[in-house]
Structure 1
Amino acid sequence: MTRYLPRLLRLKTTSSARGAVQTIVLASALGLLPVTTLAADLENGDVAVVPPQEFDSGRYGDFRDRLHDWKVTVGAGAIYMPEYEGSDKFDINPLPIISAEFGDRISVDITGVTVDLYEANGFRAGVKGGYDLGRKEDDSDYLRGLGDIDAGGIIGGIVSYEVGPFEAYAELDKTIGGSDGLTGTVGAKASYRYESFLFSADVSGTWADDKHMESYFGVTSAQSANSGLAQYDAKAGVKRVDVKGSITYMMTENWLVTGTAGAGFLMGDAKDSPIVKDDVQPFAMLGVAYRF
């Protein structure tokens, strides 16, 4: 069954390097990196990689078997997404795909690490750590005059309950620094494997506290003067609902093609913010990856 969908993070520093990082961050927050959830689903089809005889495993160690044990996935793709949360303009950017799982407890991807602390009878509970790169006012012309939202670390917890192909989950994340906000997500997903195809669908809702909402959707008097937008107070509440689906095709034992598409629907004070140009936020990703 699928593991936890990664969170959405969006990045930028210089136009190229920072843009690539921001793309990854936003993609993970929307759960657009499905290859990081495939290890458990494809576990029955795993076959150990046998090194060629000329490889000196006695001297160097069998690193390929170790990569197999870690269930490492690397690849690249492209992502179509809004310039920022609430934008009506979209970017298509390159997207690196990197993830690893060790055993049944530890999951690592470019957004952070998740550690399962308890698992029994379909129930899981774990903790996670990661980062939020905030938002830069030069991400979009619409954000001019609003200033930057600083980066911060994320600590959180996650619980899930799985029955057959279905899973319900809940996450709680606290940002340390940056917005200093608190967000909670609840959702349900299902997956189905047919021959070399893996299908999955997910629906979720995200709640955010006053600090998160004010940082990303509020407009202070100073920001209003600088940007020309109306002053606006964004309060805690449900900020968005997301619906998405993914298809992964195993071309070979190791090579896969994966894609995700869906849309987020901004709600409440987020939807009514003058920063938001469109409350419907479509997104899509297509990539190719190799599983060691």
Structure 2
Amino acid sequence: MNLTTPPTRTVLWGAVLMACTLAAPAQAADASPAADKTTATLGLGMGVTPRYMGADRYRALVLPMFSIQHGVLFADTTRGVGLQFQSDSGFGASAAINYDLGRKEKDSTSRPGDRELNGMGDVNGATVADFTLSQQLLDWLSVSGEAELRMAGEHRGNRYRFGLEGILFHTGSDTLALDIDAHAGDGRYNQTFFGVTQAQSQRSLYGRYDADAGIYAYSAALNWQHSLDAHWSTLASLTLTQYADQARNSPLVRRESAGLGMFAINYTF
């Protein structure tokens, strides 16, 4: 389930993509990788993140992490349940079913929400289909794109992401990577999370605002992954999000820029 906002999930996805980028050369050197190999990872992430997209208040986030992969099949707490493909040439693709918990109009410890949204109404959860493509351009550089399409539940629209992932430093135990992403939504998505209808305006303190399709934010994330041994690893991340175009003039966006920090420890079986 998606317990976090899209920029936060981008941090977690960036860690996955970073691992795939580093794995591609190793796969190319192995003529017959074990297609039926099962890998499982348990972890715990902790961090500080805005209460919702555009909030000026923060909340502590504790995020249990679980991932299992068998061949092309995977299930994890960040991407949902699906399948993925990684070629020796560095091309990757995945398709998954996930669940977005939406947004509350009050403070919440388990999902995005803020009491400052009182009168806006809750954005209910939605089942989504998530599709990603990535291509390794150089040993240290990859490009990726993502489309998250609403399938059922809240009619919240669709969101999209396009980004570059660069490996700045890599040794046998440490990897430092920089992710730069553009986040966009269709008209319904941007209106759901950044717009204010006339009815919402009458119930809340916010003036009416109509959001159109387009880019709503840019983000940059610095991720440091450290391997303690063959099983234990840690991930530390700092992310800066800058709201733009369809979001920054929204009365719901109380800060045009936001930061978040996360630390996770993982054990791979």
Per the shorter chain, which TM-score range? 0.7 to 0.9
Label 1:226 to 1:30 Cα distance change in 2 as closer, same or farther (>3 A).
Answer: same
1:182 aligns with 2:150: no
Taking the aligned partners of 1:148 and 1:285, their CA distance within structure 2 comes to 26
In structure 1, stretches of 5+ residues that fail to align are 1-7, 10-21, 45-67
Label 1:208 to 1:156 Cα distance change in 2 as closer, same or farther (>3 A).
Answer: same
Match for residue 102 of structure 2 among 130, 134, 148: 134
Match for residue 234 of structure 1 among 211, 215, 225: 211
Taking the aligned partners of 1:84 and 1:131, their CA distance within structure 2 comes to 17
Say whether the 8 Å CA contact 1:149–1:179 is kept in structure 2.
no
TM-score (norm 2): 0.83
Say whether the 8 Å CA contact 2:133–2:145 is kept in structure 1.
yes
1:158 aligns with 2:148: no
1:256 aligns with 2:233: yes
More helix by share: 1
- Mark the structure with the bigger radius of gyration: 1
Match for residue 287 of structure 1 among 258, 261, 264: 264
How far 1:258 sits from its partner (Å)? 1.3
1:80 aligns with 2:48: yes
Taking the aligned partners of 1:142 and 1:229, their CA distance within structure 2 comes to 10
Taking the aligned partners of 2:52 and 2:46, their CA distance within structure 1 comes to 17
Q: 1:209-220 maps to which residues of 2 (within 5 A)?
A: 209-220=186-197
Which residue of structure 1 aligns with residue 57 of structure 2?
89
1:168 aligns with 2:136: no
In structure 2, stretches of 5+ residues that fail to align are 27-35, 107-112
- The runs of 4+ residues in structure 1 deviating greater than 4 Å are 25-28, 33-40
1:199 aligns with 2:176: yes
How far 1:245 sits from its partner (Å)? 1.2
Q: Secondary structure at the match of 1:116?
A: strand
Tell me the alpha carbon deviations over residues 112-152 of structure 1, each in whole angstroms, 9 at most, x when there is no partner: 13423574633233322211111111121210000011111
Give, as a single letter, the amino acid of the residue that structure 2 aligns with 1:145. G
Label 1:127 to 1:147 Cα distance change in 2 as closer, same or farther (>3 A).
Answer: same
Say whether the 8 Å CA contact 2:14–2:179 is kept in structure 1.
no
**Matched length:** 249
Residue range with higher mean Cα deviation, 230-239 or 179-188: 179-188
Give, as a single letter, the amino acid of the residue that structure 2 aligns with 1:116. Q
TM-score (norm 1): 0.77
Taking the aligned partners of 1:109 and 1:86, their CA distance within structure 2 comes to 27
Tell me the alpha carbon deviations over residues 174-211 of structure 1, each in whole angstroms, 9 at most, x when there is no partner: 11231341222111102242131122111010111110
Kindly, what percent of the aligned residue pairs are identical?
25
Q: CA RMSD in A?
A: 2.5
Label 1:228 to 1:90 Cα distance change in 2 as closer, same or farther (>3 A).
Answer: same
Taking the aligned partners of 1:261 and 1:136, their CA distance within structure 2 comes to 25
How far 1:173 sits from its partner (Å)? 1.6
Say whether the 8 Å CA contact 1:34–1:258 is kept in structure 2.
no
How far 1:72 sits from its partner (Å)? 1.4
More strand by share: 2
Taking the aligned partners of 2:147 and 2:52, their CA distance within structure 1 comes to 22
